[in-house]
A and B are shown apart, each in its own frame.
Chain A
Amino acid sequence: MSAPALSLRSLHKSFGATSILRDVSLDIPAGTRHAIIGPNGAGKSTLFHLVTGRLRLDRGSVWLAGDDITGQSPHAIFRRGLARSFQVTSLFPRLSVFENLRVAGMRAAGCGHAFWRRIDGFAALGARIEEMLALLDLGPRRDVAAGALAYAEQRALEIGLALVGGAHTILLDEPTAGMSRAETERAVALLRRLSAGRTLVMIEHDLSVVFDLADAITVLADGGVIASGPPASVRGDARVRAAYLGAAAEVLT
């Protein structure tokens, strides 16, 4: 097997005197689905921000498919094949659903910054977007401004923006947050289907989604990794149980 899709080596991050992440190391093999769980404030979203270039690392390094991407800008990291979604929905509110997806697919379609070619002339891109619209169940909403969508539709589009670009590694930050049971099930089916052949890393609070999808789970608590491995071993880990005392602990059993 080649290099891991994503390799985090001893990441450290503090905001002022507050240490957010301490010595986080993690290898995610290519083609697997990996879930990162942990209580609120464990540093999960910060970890995504560090990996995708949103925030700068204090120490440590990030490797994508064998290449060091530490300190690179978000757009440079995307071009190396890493896409992400956001916990707080981050769309283009005045563009239509179709145009939102098309912007997300432009880099992979080789559009560049061209201002001498018609965007409609990229036929393969258009076809890919129509296909994605159907997969996301957003076909009837194709020409509606993203800002006018219902919340669940916006969440679906948020996932779509991360998936449509053809990245080999995809980071999803709470993809099912705020979705109903039925919507969550549809999202899980979609993720299962579209992550085939790719590496998926997701932060998820819904443990049923986690155990349904993930090949491996990493538990983050208080800025450090307290357990990492296949679902069965994580489920039985005593420290995980301690971190998850309360309602969620029952789901783990």
Chain B
Amino acid sequence: MPGETQLPASVSVRPARRIGRGGRGAALAWGGAIAIALIAPHLFASGFGLSLLCRMAIAIVFALSFNMLLGQGGMLDFGHAVFFGLGGFATMHLLKLVDGGLALPVVLLPLAGALGGALAALPAGWLATRREGTSFAMITLGIAELAVALVVMIPQWFGGEEGVSGDRSGGVALFGFDFGSAVQIYYVLAAWALLAAALMWGVTRTPLGRLANAVRDNPLRVDFLGYDPARIRFLTFLLAGLFAGVAGGMQALNDEIMTVSNIGSAASGAVLLMTYIGGVGTFSGPVIGAVLVTLLQVALGTVTDAWQLYSGLIFVAMVLWAPGGISGIVQSHAPILRAGRGARLLGPYLALLPAVGLTLAGTVGLAELAYRLQAVRGGARAGRLFGLAVAPTDPWQWLLPLALFVLGAWLLSRLAPPARAAWQEAAAQAARGVS
């Protein structure tokens, strides 16, 4: 019957999007990534800067491994930190052996993470990948709880409350490098991040990678094309666990300690946040998300104690208004810019700015008041906000941010539709201009 199609409407109404074939653009992107990895430590040479870069390198690998499941394979894993954490513990134990005299270069230790992550993913994936969609997500949630319980129950392996710690400079020095210094460990982690990212990118261009996309889109049809969708999910899950384990191994080298918190739901939530904010639809999305969210956590953390509130708000806002993440926003504007129609969007987009500013100011005011209300009740001092003394128990102080928020939101509700219409028109024109 006409119209009787199971394709989601949101897909079919979009202008025909051309799907890139890689090639020169990809080579350029990889060259750029290597260049950035080499130059970055010179631009951010402080101890703080280097530790930030190390955290980014770890987050990039972790988020990319998460997106093998979510973006590439359509699997929402609520317990991805299990493989990260167990990979980290495996690395930590090997590091202690190296400290004890085992002749193994410290550089290679994330391989133990890969093994640990993959081994943990074996039983977990065997259970979870029999199902798809919500059932899959539920099973991973259960596995995550189970893993945390096991880690707490076996202090001999996981060190109980204190975790397991080691010394990365305790091994045999390789060519005079002992990896004790911040810049040396940065280059080790950057090299691992580039290698792991390249391998994961490679997987997207293999038969299994393509089959994972197919299972994400339509598992039923895959079954009728000679492949068992559960088996494809399982293999993808193993690889994602392996690379999460590499990230965990990098973390172990960087922090020289692993604790139960590295396995828990907060860590799993963080990687979901990063990946989603960056965008699950492209390979580069999780990289963008990992860099930005790591930066945001640190930057917001220095400015406000309520930073978790903000990352939660940002996540909700992205899910609601930009489900494709940052890379999705870039992707939906790239053809318009290439067709030279970007200037037409400038007006409507600039008109949004004051409204966005008002809404943000109101949101920040409300968030800070809410956070400090709790702090004041706990006996802390409210402190100052934007140079003003804050008294969250005074109802009048809530009025101004509330008014800003309502005004901004109202303006946005009026200005967003024309901006959206301008974007849709420009996108349609760009699509027509190309084909």
- Contacts from A to B (Cβ < 8 Å): 52, 54, 73-75, 78-79, 83-84, 86, 88-96, 99, 102-104, 106-108, 111-120, 122, 141, 143-149, 151, 154, 161, 165, 177-178
Complex Cα–Cα for A93 and B216 (A): 10
Interface residue B226 (Cβ < 8 Å from any Cβ of A): yes
Q: CB < 8 Å: which of A99, A108, A145, A165 contacts B210?
A: A99
When the two chains form their complex, are residues B226 and A107 in contact, meaning their CB atoms are under 8 A apart? yes
When the two chains form their complex, are residues B8 and A118 in contact, meaning their CB atoms are under 8 A apart? no
When the two chains form their complex, are residues A177 and B1 in contact, meaning their CB atoms are under 8 A apart? yes
- Most B CB within 10 A of own CB, among A103, A104, A144: A103
When the two chains form their complex, are residues B206 and A115 in contact, meaning their CB atoms are under 8 A apart? yes
When the two chains form their complex, are residues A94 and B11 in contact, meaning their CB atoms are under 8 A apart? yes
With CB as the reference atom, state the residue of chain B lying closest to A105.
B225
When the two chains form their complex, are residues A114 and B207 in contact, meaning their CB atoms are under 8 A apart? yes
When the two chains form their complex, are residues A103 and B206 in contact, meaning their CB atoms are under 8 A apart? no
Of the A-B pairs whose beta carbons lie under 8 Å apart in the complex, a sample of 23, sorted by A's number, is A52-B224, A75-B225, A89-B6, A89-B7, A91-B217, A92-B213, A92-B218, A94-B11, A95-B214, A95-B217, A96-B19, A104-B225, A113-B231, A113-B232, A115-B207, A143-B21, A144-B17, A145-B11, A145-B19, A147-B12, A148-B11, A165-B225, A177-B2
Interface residue B410 (Cβ < 8 Å from any Cβ of A): no
Q: 4 nearest interchain CB pairs?
A: A107-B226, A147-B11, A111-B207, A115-B208
With CB as the reference atom, state the residue of chain A lying closest to B214.
A103
With CB as the reference atom, state the residue of chain A lying closest to B227.
A75
Complex Cα–Cα for A144 and B223 (A): 24
Complex Cα–Cα for A146 and B12 (A): 9
When the two chains form their complex, are residues B224 and A148 in contact, meaning their CB atoms are under 8 A apart? no
Known: A90-B221, A95-B214, A147-B12. A165 touches B7 (CB 8 A): no
Interface residues of B in 1-40 (CB under 8 A from A): 1-8, 11-12, 14-19, 21
Closest beta carbon of chain A to B291's beta carbon, Å:
25
When the two chains form their complex, are residues B206 and A73 in contact, meaning their CB atoms are under 8 A apart? no
Complex Cα–Cα for A147 and B12 (A): 5
When the two chains form their complex, are residues B205 and A118 in contact, meaning their CB atoms are under 8 A apart? yes
Interface residues of B in 224-242 (CB under 8 A from A): 224-228, 231-232, 235, 239
When the two chains form their complex, are residues B225 and A112 in contact, meaning their CB atoms are under 8 A apart? no
Interface residues of B in 183-228 (CB under 8 A from A): 202-203, 205-211, 213-214, 216-218, 220-228
Q: CB < 8 Å: which of B5, B14, B227 contacts A89?
A: B5
When the two chains form their complex, are residues A115 and B203 in contact, meaning their CB atoms are under 8 A apart? yes
Residues of B within 8 Å of A145, CB to CB, are 11, 14, 16-17, 19
Complex Cα–Cα for A54 and B14 (A): 32
Residues of A within 8 Å of B3, CB to CB, are 151
Residues of B within 8 Å of A73, CB to CB, are 223, 228
Residues of A within 8 Å of B18, CB to CB, are 143-144
- Contacts from B to A (Cβ < 8 Å): 1-8, 11-12, 14-19, 21, 202-203, 205-211, 213-214, 216-218, 220-228, 231-232, 235, 239
Residues of B within 8 Å of A112, CB to CB, are 207
Residues of A within 8 Å of B210, CB to CB, are 95, 99, 102-103, 106, 119
Known: A117-B206, A119-B205, A148-B11. A88 touches B5 (CB 8 A): yes
Complex Cα–Cα for A75 and B1 (A): 26
Complex Cα–Cα for A190 and B208 (A): 30
Residues of B within 8 Å of A154, CB to CB, are 5, 7
Residues of B within 8 Å of A103, CB to CB, are 210-211, 214, 222, 225
When the two chains form their complex, are residues B224 and A83 in contact, meaning their CB atoms are under 8 A apart? yes
Known: A113-B235, A115-B203. A93 touches B224 (CB 8 A): no
Known: A95-B213, A154-B5. A161 touches B221 (CB 8 A): yes
Closest beta carbon of chain B to A159's beta carbon, Å:
13
- Most A CB within 10 A of own CB, among B12, B202, B232: B12
Known: A95-B217, A147-B12. A118 touches B7 (CB 8 A): no
With CB as the reference atom, state the residue of chain A lying closest to B14.
A148
Besides A54-B224, A95-B213, 4 new A-B residue pairs in contact (Cβ under 8 A), listed by A number = A75-B225, A88-B6, A117-B207, A147-B14
When the two chains form their complex, are residues A113 and B207 in contact, meaning their CB atoms are under 8 A apart? yes
Closest beta carbon of chain B to A116's beta carbon, Å:
7
- Most B CB within 10 A of own CB, among A73, A94, A96, A118: A94
Closest beta carbon of chain A to B178's beta carbon, Å:
34
Known: A99-B213, A161-B221. A93 touches B11 (CB 8 A): yes
Complex Cα–Cα for A102 and B225 (A): 11
Residues of A within 8 Å of B227, CB to CB, are 75, 106-107, 113
Complex Cα–Cα for A184 and B227 (A): 30
Complex Cα–Cα for A43 and B225 (A): 23
- Most A CB within 10 A of own CB, among B16, B217, B218: B217
Residues of B within 8 Å of A92, CB to CB, are 213-214, 217-218, 221
Complex Cα–Cα for A146 and B14 (A): 11
Residues of A within 8 Å of B225, CB to CB, are 75, 78, 83, 103-104, 106-107, 161, 165
